Amino acid sequence: MVVVKDGPIVSDEEAANHDGMEDLDVEVSESEAESEEEDDDDAVKLVEPSKNSIYNREGLLDKLGDISWPEDVGWLHKLSIDIHQEQEVDVNDDLNRELALYTQALEGTRQAFVKFESMGRPFLRPTDYYAEMVKSDNHMEKVKGRLLAEKRRIEEAEERRKARENKKMGKQVQAQKLKERAKQKKEEVESVKKWRKQRQQSGFSEKDGTMELAFEEGNAFERSNKRRPGVAPGDRSGGKARQGVGKGKKGADKKRKGRDFKDSKFGFGGKKGLKKQNTADTTNDLRGFNKSDSSKNLKRKR
Amino acid sequence: MGKKRKHAEVVAVPIVKKDEIDSLERPQRTLFGWKDKNVEPEKQTDGTIFRNKEKVLVTCSRRINFRYRHLMLNLVSLLPHCKKDNKVESKTTKGATLNELVELKSCSSCLFFECRKHKDLYLWMAKCPNGPSIKFLVDAVHTMEELKLTGNHLNGSRPLLTFSTNFDGNPHWKLIKEMITQIFGTPKDHRKSKPFHDHVFVFSIADDHIWFRNYQISCPHTGVDKIDRGGLDKLTLIEVGPRFCLNPIKIFGGSFGGPTLYENPYYVAPNQVRALEKRQKAGKYAKKVKAKTRRKMHELSNPLEPDEFADMWKEE
């Protein structure tokens, strides 16, 4: 709640300075004057009261007597309540000033409520009492719209802030995850070793083998995560296409011609040079050789 | 127009008689019974009869700012007992014109918004025809249209008036308080008023200015008819507006004129303020020029001693 004082504002100090400036004795730096201007908001005011201002005390009281209502007028006519202000309000402190005014109003309402209740008169309007309001519905719609917009703005800002923080946190989280994974793996290996030892000690050597296999398979599977056989090192499709082919057996024929298959066979993306190099896997891979071909060759030789 | 006035006079005259008769004849007084009669006197405890028939004429000077005009319209919507009139030319003779106008409209007081130079707003608060009148400078104006002020209340419900206690100090504050209670308070049982109270006015003196606020009284989540002591704590206020701040300048004995009874010793006219500001800006340049000439004079009066090494290298 910012109150903007309308009209220009000049401090009393400045007013005083002005008098001095005529003979150029007083030197006020511009910045000083400006800061004063901002500080003394109320400053349309003389420092000292002017001497020759009129104050006709009798006249005022006389007039007051003339216009005032009879003493015994019921409170219902006036509806006025006096509230004592605890402390002097600093006018330039917007927040405190508004608070003081608000508390005055609230206190007044409470007192009035007590009075109304004791008199048995209605106070607030019942909820089903509809009548013309001071502000039109149109206007209130606008007010509501503004409130909603503000709320939305705040929420959006909050979201943005959260996203930013998450981004910051992301790296740490990632590092944490890797660490955890490594730890888990280590633990598993450890537990297997321990278990194996126990088995050996207790003498179940036959069954041991099968169990071992099961565990080793698990380990092997983990390893395969890193490097899949039959996938070129530069293949960014990760050999997924080949797996996909294996999954859908019904549509296997169709898919062989599909993009996925081609990608898996010839590779997709990545550096070409790396893909075309032989690796240990490819040299050991004998899938490309056809056994029947070799038999034909033999026949031909004969 | 003329017809209306006549009617008012006719009503005004027999009030006293009727009251006397009524008080004798009727043992029971009901709200509706009185309303039919169009006269609603209230018997006080000791037998005197008082009825508030305040009517306020609200008008403004010509060439008023839109903001200030809106402020005036806001006040019109807050005062169901007021009559709005056309703009009045703000001349030296405006006092007489306004007095005439007030009489013509059969009003008993007047709020006159005088705008000067499209930026300074003065508010005249006058009791007519022979009451005092007060001239204020209006400051820090916020109108009801501002979207920050989210409250709303019944049009024509009677406001509660809260005053800070420092109104009871000096006689001029007392007088101002009395004027405000009469002008801003809606008369009891006014025909345009509603029988409920859902807003509250704040008049508070801070820094010799009168600050005005208007709050809606709201009590959330309860059926309003059964508001209890507990509900009293839940009362909240929502600001409705408008806001303004009055700086009293002068109090005159008559309406729009007459002997001056009070003069604000601290008051500086906005014109003066602006002039000061301007002059200060002008002073900046004058100061610079003066400093320059002073420097020159100083240099002339204290010439530098000739340097003994000045032509040391020239000889070679």
The pLDDT score that the predictor gives to residue A262 is 83
Out of A127, A159, A181, a domain closes at A127
The pLDDT score that the predictor gives to residue A117 is 86
Sign of CA dihedral A214, A215, A220, A226: positive
Out of A80, A101, A127, a domain closes at A127
Residue B1 to residue B6: CA distance in whole angstroms: 9
The pLDDT score that the predictor gives to residue B147 is 86
Rg (CA), chain B: 30
- Size of chain B in residues: 316
Q: Residue A160 domain-assigned? A: no
Can you tell me whether residue B246 is helix, strand or coil?
strand
Contacts of residue A131, defined as CB under 8 A and 6 or more positions apart, other chains included, come to A125, B154, B155, B156, B194
Q: Residue A75 domain-assigned? A: yes
Q: Residue A95 domain-assigned? A: yes
Whether B283 and A18 lie within 8 Å, measured CB to CB: yes
Most confident of B27-41, B199-213, B227-241: B199-213
Q: Residue A71 domain-assigned? A: yes
- Name the residue among B45, B140, B175 with its Cβ closest to that of A72: B45
**Partners of B124 in beta bridges:** B112, B135
Most A CBs within 10 A among B108, B162, B221, B225, hence the mutation to make, goes to B162
What domains are defined for chain B? 20-47 (no CATH), 56-271 (3.40.50.10480)
Q: Which of B53, B116, B51 is nearest to B89 (CA)?
A: B116
Burial class (CB in 10 A: 0-12, 13-18, 19+), A161: exposed
Whether A77 and B187 lie within 8 Å, measured CB to CB: yes
The pLDDT score that the predictor gives to residue B44 is 46
One pLDDT digit (tens) per residue for chain A, 302 residues: 444 444 444 444 444 444 444 443 333 333 333 333 333 344 456 667 777 888 988 999 999 998 988 888 889 888 999 998 877 888 888 999 999 999 999 999 989 988 988 888 888 888 888 889 999 999 999 999 999 999 999 999 999 999 999 888 988 889 999 999 999 999 999 999 999 999 888 876 555 445 545 444 444 444 444 455 566 656 666 555 455 444 444 555 555 678 888 887 777 777 777 767 888 888 888 777 766 655 555 555 54
- Name the residue among B165, B206, B277 with its Cβ closest to that of A97: B206
Task: Say how many Å lie between the first and final Cα of chain A, rounded.
Answer: 106
Out of A127, A159, A184, a domain closes at A127
Whether A113 and B159 lie within 8 Å, measured CB to CB: no
- Name the residue among A21, A45, A110 with its Cβ closest to that of B266: A45
- Chain A hits for B168, CB-CB cut-off 8 Å, are 82
**Partners of B134 in beta bridges:** B125, B251
CA distance, residue B59 to nearest chain A CA (Å): 19
Whether B50 and A70 lie within 8 Å, measured CB to CB: yes
Q: Which of B231, B233, B194, B201 is nearest to B215 (CA)?
A: B201
Mean pLDDT, rounded, for B252-272: 92
The verdict on ipTM greater than 0.90 is no
Q: Which amino acid is at B106?
A: S
Helices A259-266 and A240-247: crossing angle in degrees, nearest 10, is 130
CA triplet B186, B144, B243: central angle to 5 degrees?
Answer: 75
**Partners of B254 in beta bridges:** B257
Identify the domain containing residue A263 by its residue range.
Answer: 236-271
Contacts of residue B143, defined as CB under 8 A and 6 or more positions apart, other chains included, come to B67, B70, B71, B74, B241, B242
Q: Residue A152 domain-assigned? A: no
CA distance, residue B134 to nearest chain A CA (Å): 11
Q: Residue A150 domain-assigned? A: no
Whether A105 and B209 lie within 8 Å, measured CB to CB: no
Show the tokens assigned to A248: 């859908």
Dihedral, B246, B248, B251, B256 alpha carbons, nearest 10? -50
Residue-wise over A211-223: b if at least 16 C-beta within 10 A, else e?
eeeeeeeeeeeee
- Residue B91: pLDDT above 90? no
CA distance, residue B137 to nearest chain A CA (Å): 11
Q: Which of B55, B113, B114, B61 is nearest to B87 (CA)?
A: B61
- Size of chain A in residues: 302
Burial class (CB in 10 A: 0-12, 13-18, 19+), B240: buried
- Residue B64: pLDDT above 90? yes
Pick the range with the lowest mean pLDDT from A6-10, A57-61, B90-94, B149-153: A6-10
Helices A12-21 and A30-39: crossing angle in degrees, nearest 10, is 150
CA distance, residue B302 to nearest chain A CA (Å): 22
The pLDDT score that the predictor gives to residue A208 is 47
The pLDDT score that the predictor gives to residue B30 is 55
Report the number of distinct structural domains present in chain A: 2
CA distance, residue B231 to nearest chain A CA (Å): 10
- Residue B309: pLDDT above 50? yes
3-state helix, strand, coil in chain A (%, to 5): 65, 0, 35
- Chain B hits for A131, CB-CB cut-off 8 Å, are 154-156, 194
Can you tell me whether residue B108 is helix, strand or coil?
coil
Q: Residue A262 domain-assigned? A: yes
Other C-beta atoms closer than 10 Å to the C-beta of B113 total 23
- Residue B310: pLDDT above 50? yes
Q: Residue A113 domain-assigned? A: yes
The pLDDT score that the predictor gives to residue B69 is 94
Q: Which of B41, B21, B23, B20 is nearest to B31 (CA)?
A: B41
- Residue B29: pLDDT above 90? no
Residue B134 to residue A64: CA distance in whole angstroms: 12
Longest dimension (CA), chain B: 132
- Chain B hits for A66, CB-CB cut-off 8 Å, are 130-132
Residue A63 to residue B38: CA distance in whole angstroms: 31
